[in-house]
Chains A and B, each alone.
Chain A
Amino acid sequence: MKFSYLKNVVTLRLDQSKCNGCGRCTEVCPQQVFAIKNKVSYIIDRDACLECSACAKNCPQEAIYVRQGVGCAYAVLMDKLNIKGKCCGDACGCSLDNIPDS
């Protein structure tokens, strides 16, 4: 079963002009967001993206951009309340460096 989260929110971008069709993104993406057609990568399920950044980190052509983050409300909350150490040492080790200002 594939779960769907909110629509049209993720920061994922793919520059197909840089893509060489190596397929690393299809391999590392845990959500099957990409597919290779005619030796070029396509985003086929954008809303499934977790913004984990596995694709961007492993793209040798640097053709993918995504703002990396962990989708954890508790971490966002602790960050907003400026309780840094709480999340870092307490629950999951996932605090955030780059929460968007919104």
Chain B
Amino acid sequence: MSTESKKLPMAGDQQDPECCSTKDITVEYTDPVNANWVTGSLETKAGLIYRVATTLDRQDLLGSVKARWGIGRMNYTVTPGLYAIGDPDLLSPVLVSANYKLSFDYLRRELGGLNLWILVLDTKGINVWCAAGKGSFGTAELIRMINQSRLEKLVSHRTLILPQLAAPGVSAHRVRKEIGYKVVYGPVRAADIPSFLNEGNKADQAMRHPSFNLIDRLTLTTVELTALFKPIAILTIFLFLLNLASMSFKSESASLVSLLEHTFSDLAPFIIAALIGTILVPALLPYIPGRALAWKGWVLGVIWVFVYTTVFAVPSGWLQTTAYFLTLPIIPAFLGMNYTGSTTYTSLSGVVKEMNYALPLIIVSAGLGLTALIGAYFI
């Protein structure tokens, strides 16, 4: 990126008043002239337009890895505006995209050998589906960007191809009525765009359904793992203090080493329960019985407690075993419940119903379990 980059005027103007999630976010955009993915420029009637690479380089891949680990994820953006793929002309298709850099990368790497325009909306660095759900990839933003980019000077047709998952935010007939552009919903996956264009802007059923296979289900695992660091750190301190108190209560003399050994062996089943919730629940999702995701997590958690208490034969008494049954399964249950946000098939009404059942049970189980756990250290 350029060090002397100038601010472009699109940052933060005219925002959708309906949208709570993005109204407070102002993203500052810079002229992408020196961006690694810009390979040249075109002088057009609508002004200077950058040509975009259709291959990803090391910098793009490194950026993806960082975003997937939650580093600078909310700031991983593409400057909104018009871009060119290949050598587009008056008749070339216009694709519309979000300005999350990962979304943009997934799109452009599928477009090698094609000639078309890409209109990048200002979705505040949020991906297509989430931005559409919140309205920042919406009718108002689309109309604003069409006007601002002077698209009418660039193409003679009036057809826009939007990703299908933008449909929750965009009202196609309203766009048509207000500025005369016809919105065509393209495929869910960018990889299907070349065949969609070949077929004369037709998507088949398979192109219209978001896949949710093993790899899709584990896509956000890395981000979820980073969210575990803080609770695990707090739990570590808690278990350390508990061991310390227990040893002084029982008047046992203990070295720091044995204290730490106890702490970490006590911590292990909790960390594994958390990993089960973050990795195994998504991975085994279609195979775990039941529908509610908290339930699915809880089932795996109970299996883990059985394995831990029988195969490893760790607990030293009934109180500790009880404590494990009450505290361990609720961890993957809670994480499973939170995983609803990463799925392609959960509705808000369903999530609210699930939470109304699961949250009180989780809280009661946590309260009783922690009491039992603390008790087990002192008897």
| B21 and A51 form a contact (CB under 8 A) | no
Cβ 8 A contact of B338, one of A31, A48, A74, A102: A74
Once the chains are docked, how many angstroms separate the CA of A102 from the CA of B350? 12
| Residues of chain B contacted by A57 (CB below 8 angstroms) | 167-171
Asked if A9 and B353 make an inter-chain contact with CB atoms under 8 angstroms apart, the answer reads: yes
- Provide the A48-60 mask, 1 if CB < 8 A to any CB of B, else 0: 1111111001101
Interchain Cβ contacts within 8 Å, total number: 168
The answer to whether B15 has its CB under 8 Å from any CB of chain A is: no
Total interface residues on B, CB under 8 Å, equals: 58
B124 is an interface residue with CB less than 8 A from chain A: yes
Question: Which of chain A's residues has its CB closest to B334's CB?
Answer: A73
Is residue B337 contacting chain A, with contact meaning CB distance below 8 A?
yes
Is B72 part of the contact surface with A, judged by Cβ < 8 Å? no
Q: With contacts A6-B354, A89-B74, A95-B20 known, is A58 near B173, CB below 8 A?
A: yes
Closest to B23 in A: A88
Q: How far apart sit A93 and B74, CA to CA, in the bound complex (Å)?
A: 9
Chain A residues closer than 8 Å to B24, beta-carbon distance: 85, 88-89
| Bound form: Cα–Cα A57–B353 in Å | 25
Whether A93 pairs with B185 at a CB distance below 8 angstroms is: no
Give a binary string over A39-50; 1 marks a CB under 8 Å from any B CB, 0 the rest.
000000000111
**Closest Cβ of chain A: how far from B145's Cβ, in Å?**
18
Is the C-beta of B222 less than 8 angstroms from some C-beta in chain A? no
B291 contacts A6, CB within 8 Å?
yes
Task: Evaluate contact between A76 and B355: CB separation under 8 angstroms.
Answer: yes
Q: How far is the CA of A71 from the CA of B350 in the complex (A)?
A: 7
Query: What is the CB-to-nearest-CB distance from B50 to chain A, in angstroms, rounded to a whole number?
Result: 26
Q: Which of B24, B213, B293, B352 has the most CB of A within 10 A?
A: B352
In the complex, A32 Cα to B204 Cα: how many Å? Answer: 12
B347 touches A49 (CB 8 A): yes
A95 to B223 CA separation, bound complex (whole angstroms) = 18
Whether B168 pairs with A6 at a CB distance below 8 angstroms is: no
- Contacting pair A9 B172 (CB below 8 A): no
Contacts of B173 in A (CB 8 A): 58, 60
Closest to A75 in B: B341
**If the complex has contacts A60-B173, A89-B25, A99-B352, are A74 and B167 also in contact, measured as CB distance less than 8 A?**
no
B242 within 8 A of A: no
Question: Which residues of the partner chain A approach B339 to less than 8 Å between Cβ atoms?
Answer: 73
Q: How far is the CA of A4 from the CA of B20 in the complex (A)?
A: 29
Contact present for B355 and A71 (CB under 8 Å): no
B285 touches A (CB below 8 Å): yes
Give bound CA distance, A1 to B25, whole Å: 37
Could you tell me which A residues sit within 8 Å of B by CB distance? 1-7, 9-11, 24, 27-32, 48-54, 57-58, 60, 67-77, 84-85, 87-97, 99-100, 102
24 contacts between A and B (CB under 8 A): A1-B213, A2-B345, A3-B343, A4-B345, A9-B347, A9-B349, A10-B347, A30-B209, A32-B205, A50-B345, A52-B167, A57-B169, A69-B349, A71-B346, A73-B340, A73-B351, A73-B355, A74-B341, A90-B74, A93-B126, A93-B131, A95-B20, A95-B21, A102-B356
- Supplied contacts A10-B350, A31-B209, 12 more A-B pairs, CB within 8 Å: A1-B213, A4-B345, A6-B350, A10-B347, A52-B133, A76-B348, A88-B22, A88-B24, A89-B24, A94-B133, A94-B341, A96-B348
